[in-house]
Structure 1
Amino acid sequence: MNQSALAEASRTVESSSETVLSVEDFTLSFSESAKTNLIEGVSFHVERGKTLCIVGESGCGKSVTSLALMGLLASPPARIRRGTAMFGGKDLFALSEREKADLRGNDIAMIFQEPMTSLNPAFTVGHQIAEGIMRHRHMSKAEARAETLKMLQMVRIPAPESRLDAYPHQLSGGMRQRVMIAMALANRPKLLIADEPTTALDVTIQAQILKLIRQIQEETGTAMILITHDLGVVAEVADHVAVMYAGHIVEQGPVDEIFNDPQHPYTIGLFGSIPTLGRRQGKLATIKGAVPPLELMPKGCRFSPRCPFADQRCRDEVPPSPQLGPDHTAACWYAPLEQKLGARQ
């Protein structure tokens, strides 16, 4: 194939992007009588072969959102008040328990934050990977074991033949996380959810794991939701970013726009608090205050108690999410900041 044909094929692939998951107005609470929802009006989508990073500080609702998508929240107490999560023509929030079990580990898979607590210490890693393969692909034990070996080879585990019969405690943290990746990808899922997959790893292993996930994603075309609080990880792997605060998505857009032109005060605060290499000039910036408890959450913008620009309208009225660029929105009364804050002064 000549260069012009290659370029044309590339343009065709880019122009025919396929939305794998579309979440609209997802709202959830953990109490029937709660006046304020834990997750409120969350909307996002992720495309085939692309990575959406959901970023925010601990407790903002990132992991709860991922568990809800996987159907892993006990109900009650979790209650989905409204919203849809369309995947393959089906609403994930409306599926039966049997339908959820058929999807989990097959069309949708998840890499959990801590592999030592996610892997069963009583079974070998080969058994645990093969179990999912047999459940969803109806292979024999011998066929599943051979496929498990291929998966361990794919995630670059050294001497994979000897690791098949190893128990989780016999592997390093980096190898355990590779096992989790192999388990998640064993059935070629259309969507991979990775919940802080590198948090417990040192920097060198973290870089290897991120590179591995990216390479496998490019090879398989899997869509990915990566949940993290590490903006360095976001810069490394994201195509699209959703910034979450107190159960709301306050800003989202292409990764370059979010990093180069953040338009929500919370996003700006996150970037201002990143440590940098080299000599520090003054104190590290911080976001003053703390996330208010649900019972004291303001009626309007949930960030307003900590926002340096907030006025009474911010506290009383939920802000709109104006379109600031292609796929770039920010839920702020003063977005775009340069224009509206300048006019206010």
Structure 2
Amino acid sequence: MEPVLAVKDFSLTFKAGAETNLVESVSFSVSPGKTLCIVGESGCGKSVTSLALMGLLPSPPARIVSGTAEFNGRNLFAMPERARADLRGNEMAMIFQEPMTSLNPAFTVGQQIAEGIMRHRDVSKAEARAEALKMLEWVRIPAPEKRLDAYPHQLSGGMRQRVMIAMALANRPKLLIADEPTTALDVTIQAQILALVRQIQAETGTAMILITHDLGVVAEVADDVAVMYAGRIVESGPVEAIFGDPQHPYTIGLFGSVPSLGRRQGRLATIKGAVPPLDLMPKGCRFAPRCPLADSRCHDEVPPTVPFGDGHSAACWYAPIEQTMEARQ
């Protein structure tokens, strides 16, 4: 199946003349009806990548150094702004992390959903309002006729996020980017929102990129996973391979830091140190200063991407990890 979006060798910087890029040589793809989860800690470049794809980064200071993003055969990075605006909210849509700062407090939710519909379709205000009502019903907001004329501050956090989903899906996009859409919600509402997104995705065949740091969410919704660290993708592959056989020390460290429901067996694992600042990035592997396996080559040379079959790969000098650990024992 041809991917809806294929990103290849994408690099981005915010600093003119910088020796290193904030996002470096990132490649991934997502197919119709599939979900790609981009995972990583705060500051690794997940959200910046999504905003660049949507054309929402101010330029300057943001500057795309290299790479392509093929969306249905069109390179997003080479398109004029008017063409990008025609795609946003229509063929591509985005759900932001905090709906209270993304929704306009001066307009009702019905007006905001209808605005996107009228921007991309030849419909009247009455028709757009009727479609907005259908969208609120679709995302299962209670008493949608009443909520249509409510302002964002009159809704709960879960309802506001459902409104954001309704806005994003109003024009049946081919690609949906969700930037940590459940972070600010309690566990019960989070489960409802994830179930809703999965059901709508199954009904529409929309491809989705879900950006998160929550591995529990990843296990529940992902088809494929890309693990990101300090602006680079260090491991990627099907969700079963990433969870069942992680091959990068950073991925292994992430899983080791997740608490389990069973009896506690000592302290949780931690990854020592912190993400290096942009101007102090190592020449080689960016995880090298925190990696228990790193040697001089890791600090000096960028590691190759090692394939393991079935789309699973890791950028590490010592992958596969099992062989390295056996050799060191």
TM-score, length-scaled by structure 1: 0.94
Matches within 5 A, 1:259-338: 259-338=243-322
What's the counterpart of residue 31 of structure 1? 15
What's the counterpart of residue 169 of structure 2? 185
What's the counterpart of residue 137 of structure 2? 153
What's the counterpart of residue 104 of structure 1? 88
What's the counterpart of residue 224 of structure 1? 208
| Count of equivalent residues | 329
Q: Structure 2 counterpart of 1:85, which letter?
A: A
What's the counterpart of residue 109 of structure 2? 125
1:139 to 108, 123, 134: 123
Q: Give the Cα separation in 1 of the matches to 2:323 and 2:83.
A: 49
What's the counterpart of residue 90 of structure 1? 74
State the Cα distance separating 1:221 from its structure 2 match: 0.1
> Could you say what secondary structure the match of 2:247 adopts?
coil
1:250 to 206, 219, 234: 234
TM-score, length-scaled by structure 2: 0.99
Q: Structure 2 counterpart of 1:57, which letter?
A: E
Q: Residues 69, 270 of structure 1: CA spacing in aligned structure 2 closer, same or farther, 3 A cutoff?
A: same
State the Cα distance separating 1:278 from its structure 2 match: 3.8
1:168 to 147, 152, 155: 152
State the Cα distance separating 1:341 from its structure 2 match: 3.5
1:75 to 55, 59, 64: 59
Q: Give the Cα separation in 2 of the matches to 1:97 and 1:18.
A: 26
Q: Give the Cα separation in 1 of the matches to 2:256 and 2:211.
A: 20
Question: Gapped runs of 5+ residues in structure 2?
Answer: none
Percent sequence identity is 81
> Could you say what secondary structure the match of 2:142 adopts?
coil
Runs of 4+ aligned structure 1 residues displaced above 2 Å come to: 340-345
Q: Give the Cα separation in 2 of the matches to 1:196 and 1:100.
A: 23
Q: Give the Cα separation in 2 of the matches to 1:307 and 1:206.
A: 33
Q: Give the Cα separation in 1 of the matches to 2:164 and 2:280.
A: 39
Confirm whether residue 211 of structure 1 aligns to residue 180 of structure 2: no
State the Cα distance separating 1:344 from its structure 2 match: 4.4
State the Cα distance separating 1:320 from its structure 2 match: 0.4
Q: Structure 2 counterpart of 1:301, which letter?
A: C
